Structures are given as structure tokens and as C-alpha cells.
Amino acid sequence: MTGEKRATIIIVHGAFEHAGRYSHLVKKLEQDGFEVKINDLPGQGRSEGKKGHIRSFNDYIQKVSEWVEEADEDLPVFLLGHSMGGLIVTRTLQQLKIHVDGVILSSPAFSIKNGASKPMEVLSRGLNIVWPSFRVSSSLAPETVTTNQEMIDSDRSDPLIIDKVSIRWYIEFQRSIKKAFKEVKSFPDLPLLIMQAGDDLIVDRQQTYQWFNLVCTSEKSYKEWPGFYHEIFNEVKWQQSYLYLYNFIQQQLIKQ
């Protein structure tokens, strides 16, 4: 599709990844007439700073706020957050009064399966005080996030995928999950679409659905894809989820 752009889509990627992993999604959105903005989050990909480390979850929130401010003010703006990116988008909208026209959360990280053991949790709280930048191995196995063998092979040789995170990052991440539920009523009244992998090995889909039921918006939709692993836009049949995303955005644009 050529001509004027119809809307801006700001993509917020998840943990242990980077903007480059969304090139196929960006290309498809641009072909369909959308302007797409996606950059590496602090401590991820090619961004500056110590990899896998943040001072505060507000580092992420501030960055997303900046991306929204930089968007073309003449175009509708939609936020698309995947996994931790979904949590970041949620916390940004709960904390800041920024204007967007719709929100899409892809397998949002409202809980994590197979988290740290209780002894490690206790140790983490202590290290967060005395050595917050200390990093531990905590990578995601490529075969647990997608069933797409081509993407799995690519991830295994991708030098931009981090394999360690800091104690501070872990503590801030866990705190933000709790705040996403505690402050659920602070989520603004915006059109909301949650797209959840039905066979997610990373996040607990039941917790995603619980948050969905708690949030108060006048328009919200929840969709699961049975057989899809965590990264619904990296599955072999990812265009199924893309079509759902496209139709949601199209519905919002028709109203304007």
C-alpha cells in the first residue's frame, strides 16, 4: 500500500531480545500503510548502557513516553507491547497521562513461569542493596518461545540476544508485575486487545486472563491462539495473529 500513513504503531519488545527480531512484522505493517517505530530498550540489543541492567523500571517507562512524544501528532498512535514490553506499556499507561488511540498486549508478562527459587529470591533482595548491577545467567531457550525452527536457528546465533540480567533488573521486573495488578484500576479507558499464546511456556496465561478481567475499559478484547508458543508474531502461522491485530487497529481508525 502506498500513499499517506494511516497511523503510527510503536512496538515495545520483550526481555532478552531486540528490535531487529520484528523486521517481518514491521515490513508487513508498513506495507499496510502504517508508520512503525521500534527501538531497543535500555540494556537490550544495541542500546547504550550495561546489558541486562536498569536502575529502575522507570527507565523503560520514560523511554516509551519519549517514543510516544516523538510520534507524528497528526496520526493516531497505537502501542504494541510483547511480553515484558506488554508489562512496560501497561505500567507506562498506569503511571503517565499520555495519549494513545489503542493498546495491544502480546503475551504480556503479568506472571512468569519457573521463576527464581525462594532462596534465590531472598539472596536477590540482599544483593539488590549491596550489588544491584551483579548479573546472573537467565536466558530464554529459543525453543521455548516459538515453534518456528527458522526463528529458533536464527536466535541461537544472534549476538544481540542477552543471556544475563542484573539483580536490580529482576527485582524491578517482579515489583512491576505486582504493581500492574495492584494499580489495575489506574489503567486508562482505552481500546485494549490482549493477544495471548495458548501454549505459552514463559508466562502464565491464566494470570493474563485474570488481569484482563480486572481492567476496566469500555472496549476490551481477549484472544488466545492454541498451539502457539510465547511469541505469537514469530510462529509459522504468525499472519493469523497479524490479521487479528490489523482488524483491531482498522476498527479504531474507522471510528475516527
The CATH number given to whatever domain includes residue 199 is 3.40.50.1820
Residue 65 and residue 202: Cα distance in Å, rounded?
27
The reply to whether 143 falls in a domain is: yes
Chain centre to alpha carbon of residue 138: 18
Catalytic residue annotation: 83, 200, 230
Determine, yes or no, domain membership for 3: no
Please provide the DSSP assignment of 142-170 as one string. GGGT-S-HHHHHHHHT-TTS--EEEHHHH
Task: Specify whether the backbone of 247 is left (phi greater than 0), alpha (psi in -120 to 50) or beta.
Answer: alpha
Cβ atoms of residues 77 and 101 within 8 Å: yes
Residue listed under C-alpha cell 520483550: 14
Taking the whole predicted model, whether its pTM rises above 0.85 is answered as yes
The whole-number pLDDT of residue 124 equals: 63
pLDDT at 130: 58
Three-state secondary structure call for residue 179 = helix
In a domain, 242, yes or no: yes
- Residue 42 C-alpha cell reads as 535500555
**Contact between 192 and 86 (Cβ < 8 Å):** no
* Assigned domain for 30 exists: yes
Q: What is the pLDDT of residue 229?
A: 98
**Does 234 map to a domain?**
yes
- Any domain includes 1: no
Q: How many Cβ atoms from other residues are within 10 Å of residue 157's Cβ?
A: 8
Q: What residues in the chain have per-residue pLDDT under 50?
A: 1, 117, 119
pLDDT of residue 136: 82
d(CA 111, CA 58): 19
pLDDT at position 123 is: 60
Q: Is residue 127 part of a domain?
A: yes
Does residue 128 sit within a domain?
Answer: yes
Tell me which residue of 110, 91, 80, 92 sits closest to 13, measured CA to CA.
80
Domains of the chain: total: 1
> Which range marks the domain in which residue 235 is found?
8-255
